[in-house]
Amino acid sequence: MMKRLLRAWIVIFAILFLAPPLWAAYYSYRDTNGVLHFTDRLDNVPDDLLPRVKFHPDVPSAASPPEPAGKAAPAPSENLNLPPVKTPRDHTIEALKRQRAQLFARYRRLVEERKRLTKMYAAIPHRPRIRSRKRHKVFNKKALDFNQRVAAYENARRAFNSRLPGYGVEPLPAVPRLANRVQR
């Protein structure tokens, strides 16, 4: 009976003192509605709420060895897989890339429209007929509208390309204007 009781106590002490701790570091943050959230992974936190995250270190266990006297405790960010802090330059590069994508989509639409107008011009008969004069007027109006959109794109492109030096973002190409080739 005494041996059983001794074994039971040994098992209880082994479980209590040799088991790994059941606590760990965690994060807390409040969302835009004021609700408090807890998580153990930063990738579960929405990007726009990362500045609000509070780090709560784990409670040191009695079994963990004390830190050496001459060595400072590591900062919490050294132990974690935190996302890198974005600098203002990183934000500028991201904004430039987004703006480039928008302007490049505009460039593609203008190039496609130019191709369509060039085909339209090729289909117009160039003999003086009443029907062809109407087509000439329609083409000239479309070419004028197109050239105005190209001019607006060129202004935006020049302003964008002037901001690029030093950021490693590729400059945008130019769109050639369409001449009002058809005479009345």
**pLDDT tens over the chain, length 184 residues:** 778 888 888 888 777 676 665 556 677 888 888 888 888 777 778 878 877 778 777 655 444 455 555 555 555 545 556 667 777 878 888 888 888 899 899 999 999 999 998 888 777 776 555 566 777 788 888 889 999 999 999 999 888 888 877 777 788 888 888 776 555 4
* Same domain assignment for residues 42 and 96: no
Contact 28, 15 (CB under 8 A): no
Domain count, the chain: 2
For 141, the domain range is 88-162
Residue 6 falls inside a structural domain:
no
* Same domain assignment for residues 39 and 95: no
Tokens of residue 70, six digits? 């001459």
* Same domain assignment for residues 37 and 98: no
SS3 39: strand
* Same domain assignment for residues 93 and 51: no
* Same domain assignment for residues 46 and 111: no
Instruction: State the pLDDT at residue 181.
Output: 59
